[in-house]
Amino acid sequence: MTMLSFIETYHPATTSKKMLGLFAVTASMTGCATLGGGLTPTQCQQSNWQTIGYQDGLLGRSQDYIQKHIKQCAKANTVPDQQQWQQGREAGLKRYCTPLRAYQLGREGYDYNDVCPQSMTLDLLKAHDEGYLNYQREQRLNQLWYNTDPFWGSPFYSNRFGGWGGLDRRSRPYYPRSVPNNRYPKYTDTHQPTSSQPVAPRPVMPSPVTPSNDATIGSKK
């Protein structure tokens, strides 16, 4: 199965919702402890360490992460059950170490944690790179696509992509462009670049093509 058919079979948007639901369930079981700043003294005393390990595995956390739990729970005079935690983490890693999850991480702009078996690393990195490439493409579109484009509304650009120009208006860069007044007399560029606003390069317009002297339009043999 190619990566394209793989992605079409497992749509990222749909699967992301499922993963978020899974995270929500496990987070509710651990009191959102492993998603944020760490465990509270009460959570150290009452939590199921296998469940905490499972959540850490889902998030791709390394084996050394147990040391953070040990340090936090020492304040509550509690020692984590490392064996139970490790069993849960290994179960969580089985869900983390999949090409689908690696692609999702890249597609959402997150790093891939090197916590999976070496025999799977190459395939996982390929899936992550493909997802991250699509993430970068989307970021560029969000920066360059905006309704103040001087060609917006022309027959070629009108609603070409269903009005996506309204997305992420805050990240639009200043885009200087030469506009022929005879074609777009109503357009006036009122945007001024600021020191914090990146300036996109002026697009290079193709030179007009002129027929050679020995070419005759509509000639007959």
Per-residue pLDDT of the chain (221 residues), as tens digits, is 444 444 434 444 444 444 444 444 444 444 444 445 678 888 888 889 999 999 999 999 999 999 999 999 998 889 999 999 999 999 999 999 999 999 999 999 998 899 999 999 999 999 999 999 999 888 888 777 654 555 555 555 444 444 444 433 433 333 333 333 443 344 344 444 444 444 444 444 445 444 445 444 444 44
pLDDT at 58: 93
Closest CA to 173 of 146, 213, 155: 146
For residue 205, tell me if it sits in a domain: no
**Residue 66 placed within a domain:** yes
| pLDDT for res 36 | 54
**Burial (Cβ within 10 Å: 0-12, 13-18, ≥19) of residue 25:** exposed
Same domain, 66 and 157: no
Q: Which amino acid is at 108?
A: E
- Give me the residues paired with residue 174 across strands: 199
49, 81, 105: which is the final residue of a domain? 105
Query: Is 43 within a domain?
Result: yes
7 HSE (CA, 13 A, CB side): 14
9 and 80 housed in the same domain: yes
Residues 163 and 98 in one domain: no
Answer yes or no: do 35 and 81 share one domain: yes
Task: Tell me what pLDDT residue 140 has.
Answer: 81
Hunting for tokens 């120009």 — which residue is that? Answer: 165
Same domain, yes or no: 34 and 100: yes
Decide: helix, strand or coil at residue 66: helix
99 and 9, same structural domain?
yes
| Structural domain for 35, as ranges | 3-105
Whether residues 8 and 96 fall in one domain: yes
Whether residue 140 contacts residue 169, with contact meaning beta carbons closer than 8 Å, is answered with: no
Residue type, 38: G
What is the residue type of 8? E
Q: What pLDDT, on the 0 to 100 scale, is given for residue 149?
A: 54
Residue 146's pLDDT is what? 54
Q: Identify whether residues 98 and 146 lie together within a single domain.
A: no
Q: Is 72 inside a domain boundary?
A: yes
In a domain, 177, yes or no: yes
* pLDDT for 161: 44
> 56 in a domain, yes or no?
yes
Is 51 inside a domain boundary?
yes
d(CA 117, CA 77): 35
User: Within this chain, do residues 99 and 20 fall inside the same structural domain, yes or no?
Assistant: yes
Total tally of structural domains belonging to the chain: 2
- Pair 96, 16 in one domain: yes
Looking at the fold, whether 85 and 148 belong to one and the same domain comes out as: no
Has residue 33 been placed in a domain? Answer: yes
